Structure 1
């Protein structure tokens, strides 16, 4: 790679990282700087990449091991230490911390320094093979709070690319910092990956990022976080915003979250919600969490027997439905909202795909199933799913009315250890890749984690 090549961090994020043999190691998620170090009049020194490897684990790859950044890929040499990345004092993550940071930039010597917000950072490799920040891409103007006070708006000024020497305040952590550029860099991530990235942020930065999310995105992230983290985030919001987010969440996930809060707080939030949105959550809160009633979703796919197969297929195609929920259609007598009229049968999605679209659901019903009652234990539900190879089970009352459905993902959440979402720091310090320069193809175990 030529010494004057310029790389923008926003374009670097998401690139695949390969070892010398051409095997993919992971994807770039961030760049780590030491702001206090300047190289030959250039900006802060870049010391490594944060790379996400399989298992959603983030590891540190020193810049000394990066041989090429070209053609949409990063190539490294030697071994990569697979110990989970933990940021050290004095280090700064570009995407997580510098994006959206308020600074002052010198665009015109006559007007002097002007307020701006960092949107990207340019790195260049020096003849010494060190990497340094050389330019800042910023948007002129200072961010302002929205009327609700929940998030910082993106400035509307023009964008400028200025040398690092014309930037002031890059090393200063702002009292208030937006998160739009950071969220833009994460927009292609799944909710579980977003939740993982948010867990790695400082509490202050986490609050800023979650405040800048829309309700739908925040709801998706809360559904993937450990209980402690999502309670912390929800209670940091205003009551009105928290109620809006709960309305967007799946009722069973919202119920799980509310069950971690004091009773008076729960009631206050339910009062702020729309009655139609709060009603299913109130019902779920009456059940023990380790019963079918406590695990079920009260909004499965429900249709009447006269509905056509075409109508059923259109319904299960809805993007907001999880695969497990969309796998079964529950055919009931009116009313068709839980608690429904009597459940008369179910139809698997595979059956829908095999029959003529104009045919009615009542003519292809599967009646050979065993529903569970709301007080059925977790063990009972798990055994039934395993015995009948089901990914979802109907939950009914004594009169056979459908109350909801327990899906396999609900069951997994309850049978996995309570801290399964938090088991991120106990992996062994494995090494991956090869080092042709080493006689045995190995390097010292700690070398992959060296920062300086």
Structure 2
């Protein structure tokens, strides 16, 4: 176990209350959802099954869990209330792993699974199963209970995926460590049928990341083969600007239907972006920059910047605004760059170190002017502010590059293949 890592045994999570950051209870944990992997590798923990007040069972991704302590689970406050439906690649830990008969790899002795431990990986928000608590022997009413012991996941056989065969699970496990752009390259070379199977097996966040790296025709193809509620979930997991770009390519009726199925807050962000011309600051921006009030401290800002889900461009600076803190915000006051945050004491108020010299851009600023502004002032992101002075979002340099390159640049790059993927060619060829 890595020093400082946090482990929880899943039996202790059953029935535990789940709370939003403000203290309101969401529901109680009913199970833990994991994805088994090939080669004895520890399973990845995808999320929790939570029963809410209406007795509906919903899925809470582990990326939305900020704390598992003192007999309670704390979420980010963003919860999708759609009913949980188990997918073929998912395993319910309490319902399917506990009480299973397994064997200890070293001795070949039979054992019964009593519990499993999950651990949060260091410096990440990912969790995986790392320990198995077992009882030796076959058990049974007429037999004396055997010794109990806790072993590594790899020390037990009986519930890992087999190496032979190639379902979507094995293909996903093969490419699990690829960056989204490289996994997009893999999907590009699969047949449409296989591409749909792999996309259906990916979890929402992973599929959202991969879709953002695919050409538009593949995006539309994959989205069209998902059930509409699943498609809405994936759109929610995408960056709002990327979701808006994808939806803008769909027929109006289909676009509106998917927006209606999305969570209202997510749909509102996307609708705002769809209202702007594509090649303007408003059409390019993301609606989720880091926003802080002037009385926040440098320590608060650095904590927000450390969020691993942020792109480097978005994490490069924070935007200081009057409340409300969500876009569109109150009056935009200025920007604090990451380097300035590193130079000032943690207790310094961001309002006292705000850079007010660089002007923000109005949402109707054309792409050429946005590009010139970033280049002139050596910026990686620029705020977008409306006529009333409210921050609407931020345009990052990667969004600008997407629109400066030829329309088919993604397809061209995918056709030639990404560096370092030669070793997976055999798997790609066998995956059709």
Q: TM-score, normalised by structure 2?
A: 0.60
The CA distance in 1 between the partners of 2:414 and 2:391, in whole Å, is 42
Question: Aligned partners of 2:365, 2:345: CA distance in 1, in Å?
Answer: 37
| CA apart distance, 1:151 | 3.9
Match of 2:177 among 188, 192, 204: 188
Indicate yes or no: 2:363 matched with 1:374: yes
1:215 is matched with 204
**Larger displacement relative to structure 2 (291-300 or 181-190):** 181-190
Q: Which residue of 2 aligns with 1:288?
A: 277
Would you say the 8 A contact 2:188–2:414 is kept in 1? no
Aligned residues: CA RMSD: 2.5
What is the rounded CA distance, in whole Å, between the counterparts of 2:162 and 2:244 in structure 1?
48
The runs of at least 4 aligned residues of structure 1 exceeding 2 Å deviation read 147-162, 424-428
Deviation string 1:372-423 (CA, Å, 9 cap, x unpaired) is 1111100010011111111111101112111110000010001000100011
- What residue number does 1:266 align with? 255
Q: Which runs of 5+ in 1 are unaligned?
A: 1-117, 121-146, 171-176, 429-452
- The whole-number CA distance in structure 2 between the counterparts of 1:263 and 1:426 is 31
* In structure 2, distance between residues paired with 1:367 and 1:159: 56
269 and 346 in structure 1: CA distance in 2 versus 1, 3 angstrom threshold? same
Gaps of 5+ in 2: 1-36, 40-83, 98-157, 418-432
Give the superposition deviation at 1:227. 0.4
* Equivalent residue for 1:279, pick from 243, 246, 268: 268
Alpha-carbon distance change, 283 to 357 in structure 1, aligned in 2, over 3 angstroms: same
Q: 1:393 aligned to 2:382?
A: yes
SS at match of 2:313: helix
Match of 2:213 among 203, 206, 224: 224
Find 2:406's aligned residue among 395, 413, 417. Answer: 417
- Distance in structure 2 (CA, Å) of the matches to 1:266 and 1:403: 23
Measure the CA separation in 2 of the matches of 1:427 and 1:366: 43
Q: Helix, strand or coil: the match of 1:338?
A: coil
The aligned residue for residue 135 of structure 2 is: none
| Corresponding residue of 1:31 | none
Post-superposition CA distance 1:425-448 (Å, at most 9, x none): 8769xxxxxxxxxxxxxxxxxxxx
Q: Distance in 2 between matches of 1:151 and 1:207?
A: 14
- Mapped partners of 1:306, 1:365: distance in 2: 11
- Cα deviation 1:190-216 (Å, max 9, x = unaligned): 110111111111111111111111001
| In 1: Cα distance, 2:161 partner to 2:281 partner | 57
* 2: CA distance, partners of 1:286 / 1:350: 34
| Secondary structure of the structure 2 residue equivalent to 1:220 | helix
| Secondary structure, counterpart of 2:387 in structure 1 | coil
Name 2:194's counterpart in structure 1.
Answer: 205
Computing the radius of gyration from Cα coordinates, the structure with the larger value is: 1
SS in 1 for 2:318: strand
- Contact residue 178 and residue 212 of structure 1 kept, 8 A: no
CA contact (8 A) 2:38 2:173 kept: no
How many correspondences in the alignment?
273
CA contact (8 A) 1:300 1:404 kept: yes
Pick closer, same or farther for the CA change 1:347–1:151 going to 2, 3 Å.
same
Contact 1:303 1:336 in 2 (8 A): yes
Q: Which SS does the other structure have where 1:368 is aligned? A: coil
Does residue 336 of the first structure (1) align with residue 325 of the second (2)?
Answer: yes
Contact map agreement 1:230 1:257 (CA 8 A) in 2: yes
CA contact (8 A) 1:215 1:244 kept: yes
SS at match of 1:347: strand
Residues 27-176 of structure 1: pairs in structure 2 closer than 5 A: 151=88
Q: Distance in 2 between matches of 1:160 and 1:193?
A: 24
Question: Shift in Å at residue 328 of structure 1?
Answer: 1.1
Higher RCO (Cα < 8 Å, 6 or more apart): 1
| 8 Å Cα contact 2:293-2:321 kept in structure 1 | yes
Distance 2:345 2:159 in 1: 57
In structure 1, C-alpha distance between the alignment counterparts of 2:191 and 2:260, rounded to whole Å: 32
Check 1:291–1:119 CA distance in 2 against 1; reply closer, same or farther (3 A cut). same
Residue in structure 2 matched with residue 246 of structure 1 by the alignment: 235
Pick the aligned partner of 1:300 from 289, 295, 299. Answer: 289
C-alpha displacement of 1:255: 0.5
2:340 aligned to which of 341, 351, 363 = 351
